[in-house]
Structure 1
Amino acid sequence: MGNVSKQPADVYEMIVRAIDAGLYRPGDRLVESELAERFGVSRTPVREALQRLETQSLLERDGRSLIVATLDHDQMAELYVVRRELEGLAARLAARHATSEEVAVLREMVAADNRLIEDPVALSRANRRFHKQIHLASHNRYLVQQLDLVYRTMALMASTSLAAEGRGQVAQEEHEGIVAAIAARDEEAAEKAVRAHISDAFMTRLRRDADAREQQGG
């Protein structure tokens, strides 16, 4: 009885988490009845959750069906531009507003994540947690909401840039620099470090995509 009464917002979050975890990949078809059965809910909240996801462009139409959206090159570039700007602002505000406890947690995260460098999938999850902590340390709820939407859209990317050779180590070193700037209350340095970090990730992804096209003969 408890599961059947779940609200559309709950179902929405469950579907988003499933996409983020790779249970549903770009191009996969989402069927209302199958989702209701998987999550143990009625079809009405599933239908409403799917409509919300379509409105946010996380799903797209394929005839009469809804499929997980695929980001083309231009969409990916646009997403990284927005991400770089918003993350830079979050880092600047974190340098201004973060408590000493929040800075300490960021340092702990970097130290723990250094042990995951050889595991891109785990490091990718840890990377999101690290960036989320910076978002929260900005102490700006509206900025956090916008970044949450950006990261949900990033789930539509088929792979992580951290899987590229050497990128995990470099990203961790960049994280250390970001935390150092936040701890020093250097707003300009924190923003600059994050913007450079996002740009490096974007360039890494562009190189990986170019290599993939070459291998496919494209």
Structure 2
Amino acid sequence: MTQTKPLQTDAYSMILEAIDMGIYKPGDRLVESDLADRFGVSRTPIREALQRLETQSLLARDGRSLIVASLDHNQMAELYVVRRELEGLAARLAARHANEEEIAVLRSMVAADDALVNDPPALARANRRFHKQIHLASHNRYLVQQLDLVHRTMALMSTTSLAAQGRGEIAQSEHDGIVSAIEARNEAGAEKALQDHISVAFMTRLKQDANARERSG
């Protein structure tokens, strides 16, 4: 049986995942030939994937080169405003529509992720899975699409708020409260719990950025 070549969407997904995992960070230069070698695909799908990522503002031009984009303070604030509202809506709809199996998965995620509170990178990956599960439990495909875009853009932040001292334990407690509200079919409570969770994450990130500026200054 002949092996089919990866499609353009595979090249796109692989580059996006590498950005999301921090392999390529904001400001890093992306070179077609290097990416083709890394992912084992031809340069054509790599070129098409880079064009798509640039259109989505995940990559930016630096002269003739493409680099991973970065977010300034205002862009980050705007992103968190949108994320807070959309995530809250997802939690509200999950409280309304999630089936028993989906709620059980959310509960098991919270329990398993408690073991990761001292491993910020692993907890950040688990956090993304947890939020994605809530998005899917909303049973609204258009909301899921919009939240996918928001979370792709979140990858442009070079650090995770979960790296802040004590944030992992607090975030896990917040996740537990979100799931409890969804389990209770408390739509307003689930929405508020998730919105508050995002607000705290935003404040934590603002403090991280302020501390970083102080150290560099």
Q: TM-score range by the shorter chain?
A: over 0.9
In the alignment, does 2:44 pair up with 1:44?
Answer: yes
CA RMSD of aligned residues (A): 1.0
Following the alignment from structure 1 to structure 2, what is the Cα–Cα distance between the partners of residues 91 and 105?
15
- How far off is 1:39 after superposition? 1.1
- 2:12 aligns with 12
Following the alignment from structure 2 to structure 1, what is the Cα–Cα distance between the partners of residues 214 and 41?
44
- How far off is 1:157 after superposition? 0.6
- 1:176 aligns with 176
Alignment TM-score, normalising by the size of structure 1:
0.97
- 2:200 aligns with 200
Following the alignment from structure 2 to structure 1, what is the Cα–Cα distance between the partners of residues 118 and 40?
36
Following the alignment from structure 2 to structure 1, what is the Cα–Cα distance between the partners of residues 174 and 101?
21
Amino acid at match of 2:196: A
- 2:77 aligns with 77
- How far off is 1:8 after superposition? 1.2
- How far off is 1:2 after superposition? 3.6
Following the alignment from structure 2 to structure 1, what is the Cα–Cα distance between the partners of residues 3 and 163?
40
- 1:108 aligns with 108
1:22-74 deviation digits (Å, cap 9, x = unpaired): 11111000011111111111111111100000000000000011000011111
Following the alignment from structure 2 to structure 1, what is the Cα–Cα distance between the partners of residues 213 and 95?
40
Residue correspondences, number:
216
Following the alignment from structure 1 to structure 2, what is the Cα–Cα distance between the partners of residues 122 and 70?
22
1:59-103 deviation digits (Å, cap 9, x = unpaired): 000001100001111111111111101100000000000001111
Amino acid at match of 1:210: A
1:144-177 deviation digits (Å, cap 9, x = unpaired): 1111111111111111000101111111110011
Following the alignment from structure 1 to structure 2, what is the Cα–Cα distance between the partners of residues 91 and 129?
14
1:118-157 deviation digits (Å, cap 9, x = unpaired): 1111111111111111000000111111111111111111
In the alignment, does 2:157 pair up with 1:151?
Answer: no
Following the alignment from structure 1 to structure 2, what is the Cα–Cα distance between the partners of residues 75 and 2?
43
Following the alignment from structure 1 to structure 2, what is the Cα–Cα distance between the partners of residues 40 and 170?
41
Following the alignment from structure 1 to structure 2, what is the Cα–Cα distance between the partners of residues 101 and 38?
38
Following the alignment from structure 2 to structure 1, what is the Cα–Cα distance between the partners of residues 161 and 175?
15
Q: Residue 24 of structure 1 aligns to a residue in which SS? A: coil
Amino acid at match of 1:19: I
Flag structure 1 segments of 5+ consecutive residues without an equivalent: none
- 2:216 aligns with 216
Give the percent of matched residue pairs that are identical in Structure 1 and Structure 2.
Answer: 75
Following the alignment from structure 1 to structure 2, what is the Cα–Cα distance between the partners of residues 9 and 112?
31
- How far off is 1:17 after superposition? 0.6
Following the alignment from structure 2 to structure 1, what is the Cα–Cα distance between the partners of residues 29 and 17?
16
Following the alignment from structure 1 to structure 2, what is the Cα–Cα distance between the partners of residues 11 and 74?
31
Following the alignment from structure 1 to structure 2, what is the Cα–Cα distance between the partners of residues 2 and 17?
23
- 2:21 aligns with 21
Following the alignment from structure 2 to structure 1, what is the Cα–Cα distance between the partners of residues 22 and 57?
17
Following the alignment from structure 2 to structure 1, what is the Cα–Cα distance between the partners of residues 159 and 98?
31
Flag structure 2 segments of 5+ consecutive residues without an equivalent: none
